[in-house]
Amino acid sequence: MGLLIRSSFVQLSLALLAIASPVEQRERGTIAKRQDGTYSCKCYEGDDCWPTKAAWSTLSTAVGGRLEKVVPVAAVCYNEFEGIPTYDAEECAQVTENYSNEQWQTDQQVLNLWDYWTNTTCLPTDNPEASCTLGYYPEYVIMAETASDVKAGIDFARENNVRLIIRNTGHDFLGRSTGYGSLAINTHSFKDMEYMKHYISPGGEYEGSALKIGAGVQGVDIYSLLNKQDPPQVFIGGECATVGIAGGYIQGGGHGPLSTLYGMAADQALEFEVITADGEFRSVSAVNNPDLFWALKGGGPATYAAVLSVTVKTFDDTKAAGFTLDLNTTHTTNADLFWKGVEIFHSYSNHWIENGMMVYFEIYSGNMFRVHPAVGPNMTAEQLQTLAQPVMDELDAAGVPYDYAIKEFGSFYDLYMELFEPEPVPQTALVGGRIFAKADIADYNAEIVQGYRSGIDGDAGNMLYIGHVVGPGVGKPEADNAIHPTWRQASTFTITSLAVPVGANLTQKRTLQDYLNEKVDGPLIAASPNGAAYVNEGNLEEPNWQEAYWGFKYPRLYELKKKWDPEHVFYARTTPGTEAWEVIDTNTRLCKKL
């Protein structure tokens, strides 16, 4: 955000903070009675239990004035927001120009890259007469700069029964980094990084190179720093450069281009620094709070603690090769031939991972199949071509046309910077997905691809499948952490994404969610009896989500949630301990069913 825009928002935020609700706080929560039962809810503005103006002022002082009343970033495109004039043509032009920039979005106070979860509220517009509302954004945000800021926010939320959101980048398919009427803690400024060439973990179980990163550090920051070391290093990060590593990414497991070689991101975690729900700073490792250490490594985002930093293993960078492949209507309009090509390529998933590779592919409505890229770490172009040749031969024999290009790089870093593409933002879509085990690819590949086809050919709108041919169990067959054991047998993980029109009403959203459940994810679940689901990129209505996301590890995670967060200060949908909680009243109030 530019300084001019930022200054204007701070002034407006202070004005809105000054007129915060003056009601006295009289109880811990509210009771909501509905036809389906009685609920105990978090406190919201207008409730008797909502914190007083004096309470918010005290919090603001405690965090050095870094508490701000949330103002949607595009409010400058509207005449007013909550009764205060906001329109500024110059600032509106800046917001409109930058709104599709992924890095810019992650730098804002509360934006969610998938703005479906904000109720697509207060978007950039050329009609200043339109209405700008807060939608499902938080009411307040602490732009945290210190551990004490994070502690103050957690203490305030716990003591006042206010919904709490931990937000780093908003790079979140499932809306867990935003929430109606909440207090958000933004950790994006925690950018410290320390590379340690000779590191020994607290228990002595690891000796080698490592990197300590703050909660606000993004993948591109790490790749760039590690590339400058001698020798150059790499780590397990996501394929998208703007992902924040220490937050939901690593707490949910974290896969990436090098996961077939080295395992999941959570497999690399050596230490955490956190603030737990009781407001205490804790160092967490295999010897310090080992049960919490186990849970933070894949047990679910925003579930057990607010992470301030994490220390992870690094690895020597090596040469690499990559290829791209495209098959679409410029090559053929024969749908059967197109899907035959997809089936052939997909059938080689086990082949790719058995050779240490990762393949990123996309299938779009309109019969478009893109492999951008296939990654061969520590390979020359000649070696990668040898691995790819059987696939090309089979495509050729079937008469499937395609475009194909291969390139060699001096390092994985060079490959990553050239071949991986930024994600388009913002997005309004529902998300699901499936982890396919090696046995599923071997026995049910045709059925899996038919599942893709039935989703693409359906009548619900624009579908997108985002495939990750990745086998963490190849490089890390065993790990003592919370990640679903099926990841050790995984061959492919596919995200399903169903577009939702901007402005869709609740009935339309429900219809699309049902379609995703039954017609998109349903066939993939049926075609993968050995499969599972991924908590960071899954369906929020995944059936039996406890088993699907964590398998036999769930009961232990449930008990650890009760131990480390008995008052449910932290909440993220479909994570351990949230069975009785839901967001009621048209996706607004977070409540526990009594």
List the CATH number of the domain containing 273.
3.30.465.10
CB of 477 closer than 8 Å to CB of 487: no
- Which residues, 6 or more positions from 484, have their beta carbon under 8 angstroms from its beta carbon? 253, 298, 435, 532, 533, 534, 549, 550, 551, 553
Q: Are residues 260 and 272 in the same domain?
A: yes
Q: Can you point out the beta strands (E) in 174-224?
A: 183-186, 193-200, 207-214
Residues 345-374, mean pLDDT to the nearest whole number:
97
Question: Which H or E element spans position 143?
Answer: strand 140-143
DSSP class of residue 304 equals: S
CATH number at residue 158: 3.30.43.10
Residue 20 has pLDDT above 50, yes or no: no
- Which residues, 6 or more positions from 118, have their beta carbon under 8 angstroms from its beta carbon? 111, 112, 135, 136, 137, 175, 178
Residues 383-389, mean pLDDT to the nearest whole number:
98
CA–CA dist 565, 309 (Å, integer): 19
DSSP class of residue 457 equals: H
pLDDT at 30: 85
Number of domains in the chain: 3
Residue ranges of the alpha helices (H) in 274-330?
A: 290-296
> What are 314-336's pLDDT values in tens digits?
999 999 999 999 999 999 999 99
CA–CA dist 49, 339 (Å, integer): 57
Q: Are residues 307 and 326 in the same domain?
A: no
419 in any annotated domain: yes
| Cross-strand partners of 31 | 40
Over its C-alpha atoms, the chain yields an Rg (Å, rounded) of 24
Residue 13 has pLDDT above 90, yes or no: no
Q: Are residues 546 and 436 in the same domain?
A: yes
Report CA-CA distances (Å) from 416 to 171, 213, 323, 371.
Answer: 19, 20, 12, 14
303 in any annotated domain: yes
Residues 515-530, mean pLDDT to the nearest whole number:
97
* Exposure letters 49-75 (e unless 16+ CB within 10 A, then b): bbbeeebbeebbebbeebbbbbbbbbb
pLDDT at 35: 72
| Helix and strand numbers, DSSP H then E, in the chain | 19, 24
Q: Are residues 181 and 207 in the same domain?
A: no
Residue 2 has pLDDT above 50, yes or no: no
321 in helix, strand or coil?
Answer: strand
DSSP class of residue 387 equals: H
pLDDT band at 294 (very low <50, low <70, confident <90, very high): very high
Q: Domain boundary at 186, 201, 236, which? A: 186
Residue 15 has pLDDT above 70, yes or no: no
Q: Domain boundary at 266, 287, 316, which? A: 316
568 in any annotated domain: no
Residue 167 has pLDDT above 60, yes or no: yes
Q: Domain boundary at 268, 298, 316, which? A: 316
**Beta strands across the sheet bearing 589-593:** 30-34, 37-41, 589-593, 581-584
Q: Are residues 173 and 91 in the same domain?
A: yes
pLDDT at 461: 77
CB of 212 closer than 8 Å to CB of 311: yes
Share above pLDDT 70 across residues of the chain, in percent, rounded to a whole number = 95
344 in helix, strand or coil?
Answer: helix
> What are 405-440's pLDDT values in tens digits?
999 999 999 999 999 998 889 999 999 999 999 999
Which tops the pLDDT comparison, 425 or 77?
77
CATH number at residue 395: 3.40.462.20
CA–CA dist 448, 450 (Å, integer): 5
Residue 444 has pLDDT above 50, yes or no: yes
pLDDT at 7: 52
573 in any annotated domain: no
Residue 5 has pLDDT above 80, yes or no: no
- Give the number of other CB atoms < 10 A from CB of residue 145: 16
Q: What are φ and ψ of residue 541, in 5° steps? A: -110, 30
Cα–Cα–Cα angle for 368, 369, 375, rounded to 5 degrees: 150
Q: What are φ and ψ of residue 198, in 5° steps? A: -125, 95
Q: Are residues 179 and 229 in the same domain?
A: no
CA–CA dist 96, 546 (Å, integer): 40
pLDDT at 29: 75
Share above pLDDT 90 across residues of the chain, in percent, rounded to a whole number = 91
Q: Are residues 309 and 352 in the same domain?
A: no
Report CA-CA distances (Å) from 504 to 229, 458, 507, 517.
Answer: 49, 19, 8, 18
Write out the two tokens for 259: 């996961």
pLDDT at 33: 76
Q: Are residues 284 and 404 in the same domain?
A: no
Domain of residue 169: give its range.
3-186
Question: Which H or E element spans position 382?
Answer: helix 381-397
CB of 77 closer than 8 Å to CB of 95: yes
Q: Is the peptide bond before 424 cis (omega within 30 degrees of 0)?
A: no
Q: Are residues 330 and 259 in the same domain?
A: no
pLDDT at 4: 44
pLDDT band at 34 (very low <50, low <70, confident <90, very high): confident
557 in any annotated domain: no
Q: What are φ and ψ of residue 593, in 5° steps? A: -75, 130
User: In the predicted model, what is the mean pLDDT of the chain?
Assistant: 94
> What are 525-554's pLDDT values in tens digits?
999 999 999 999 999 999 999 999 999 999
571 in any annotated domain: no
Residues 359-383, mean pLDDT to the nearest whole number:
97
- Which residues, 6 or more positions from 58, have their beta carbon under 8 angstroms from its beta carbon? none
210 in any annotated domain: yes
Which burial class, exposed, middle or buried, applies to 405 when counting CB atoms under 10 A from its CB (0-12, 13-18, 19+)?
Answer: exposed
> What are 214-239's pLDDT values in tens digits?
999 999 999 999 999 999 999 999 99
State the virtual CA torsion across 346, 349, 351, 354 in degrees, nearest 10: 170
pLDDT band at 61 (very low <50, low <70, confident <90, very high): very high
> What are 490-500's pLDDT values in tens digits?
999 999 999 99
> What are 250-288's pLDDT values in tens digits?
999 999 999 999 999 999 999 999 999 999 999 999 999
| Cross-strand partners of 266 | none
Q: Are residues 148 and 164 in the same domain?
A: yes
Residues 174-197, mean pLDDT to the nearest whole number:
97
Q: Are residues 269 and 325 in the same domain?
A: no
Q: Are residues 109 and 158 in the same domain?
A: yes
- Give the number of other CB atoms < 10 A from CB of residue 330: 10
CA–CA dist 298, 287 (Å, integer): 18
CA–CA dist 291, 238 (Å, integer): 26
Closest residue by Cα to residue 505 from 409, 411, 587, 406: 587
514 in any annotated domain: yes
